[in-house]
Amino acid sequence: LHCFACIICSRQLATGDEFYLMEDGRLVCKEDYETAKQNDDSEAGAKRPRTTITAKQLETLKNAYKNSPKPARHVREQLSSETGLDMRVVQV
């Protein structure tokens, strides 16, 4: 079928070819999918998404750090569980 082609390289897919079906219903051949995934992985390694901190989480952190500017690990762990933030976010 003409519509059974990769949206990136336009190669006609044949019986037995591996492909990926994108969320929007378009097809991508295995080679193009893996190439795109490698590019995404290398870019993702360079940057992490910023953490969004709610007003309540910020208030909890400010109060804790006001009482102790350098809280011990167990205090940071408690803050992490209270706020739902990662330990690294609480520490930084």
Tokens of 74: 């167990």
pTM over cut 0.75? no
pLDDT tens-place values along the chain, 92 residues long = 667 888 888 888 888 888 888 888 788 888 888 888 877 666 555 566 678 888 988 899 999 999 888 889 999 999 989 888 888 888 88
Which residue matches tokens 């870019």?
43
Instruction: Locate the DSSP E strands across the chain.
Output: 19-21, 27-29
Match 């804790």 to its residue by tokens.
64
Cα distance between residue 52 and residue 43, in whole Å:
21
- Domains of the chain plus CATH, in order, are 1-47 (2.10.110.10), 55-89 (1.10.10.60)
- DSSP H/E element including 89: helix 87-91
Give the tokens for residue 77: 């762990």
d(CA 2, CA 9): 14
